[in-house]
Amino acid sequence: MPTMKTVIQRVSRAEVRVEGARVGAIERGVLALTAVERGDTMAEVTATARKLAGLRIFPGRTPMDQTLHEIGGGVLLISQFTIAGDLRKGRRPSFNGAEEPTRANELYEALASALRAEGLTVETGIFAAHMQVELVNDGPVTLILEVREGKVR
């Protein structure tokens, strides 16, 4: 069953480079590495954006109290199909569950737009490019968000 998967890392800063040139960067916020799987739809995009915008993962009165909005944080969104990799057989991952590139790019771009519609500042990598991502994980805090049929799992 298709599941849009996002690895979320709370960061002090993060940036992405392609061929040595910085193409996206944020200060405090989250690095979101997202995989689009075959069959994912706009329902997964909408639910992912809504959940990410509302997550209380930044310190305030408690260690996990404030949202991206409340801290003025940004999102560095990176498409990473390898998160859809299947490691059950053999020693080489299978990526049969990853969506085909044209559709995956459409949903990746839709996710960036949906996050912006939630009022967030969003920077992105370049879809299908070889990228170098640098980050300072704050905490460290790393979470995995899985959305299937428009619902967080």
Give the pLDDT confidence of 51-105 residue by residue, as tens digits.
Answer: 999 999 999 999 999 999 999 999 999 999 999 999 999 999 999 999 999 999 9
Among residues of the chain, what percentage have pLDDT more than 70? Answer: 100
Is the confidence at residue 41, as pLDDT, over 80?
Answer: yes
Could you tell me which residues come within 8 angstroms of residue 74 by beta carbon, excluding any fewer than 6 positions away? 26, 27, 28, 29, 30, 68, 120, 121, 122, 123
Tell me if residue 82 is catalytic: yes
Residue 2 — very low, low, confident or very high, per pLDDT cuts 50/70/90? confident
* Segment 114-142 mean pLDDT: 97
Of all residues in the chain, the percent with pLDDT exceeding 90 is 98
- Domain hosting residue 100, numbered range: 4-152
- In CATH, what number is assigned to the domain containing residue 68? 3.50.80.10
Q: Kindly name the residue from 66, 81, 95, 142 that is annotated as catalytic.
A: 81
End-to-end CA separation in angstroms for the chain: 12
Whether 20 has a pLDDT exceeding 80, the answer reads yes
Q: How many domains does the chain have?
A: 1
Pick the catalytic residue from 82, 102, 124, 132. 82
Q: What is the reported pLDDT for 1?
A: 77
Task: Summarize the confidence of residues 14-41 as an average pLDDT.
Answer: 98
Q: What does the pLDDT read at residue 138?
A: 97
Q: Which of 3, 9, 80, 124 is catalytic?
A: 80
Q: Containing H/E element for 77?
A: strand 74-79
Give SS3 for 79: strand
Check if the beta carbon of residue 48 is closer than 8 Å to that of residue 145.
yes
Q: pLDDT at residue 30 above 80?
A: yes
Query: Per the structure block, which two tokens stand in for 25?
Result: 């960067």
Residue spans of beta strands (DSSP E) within 94-152? 121-124, 132-148, 151-152
Q: CB within 8 A of 104, min separation 6: which ones?
A: 36, 79, 81, 98, 127
Q: Which residues contact 49 (CB under 8 A, 6 or more apart)?
A: 111, 114, 115, 117, 118
Cβ atoms of 110 and 117 closer than 8 Å: no
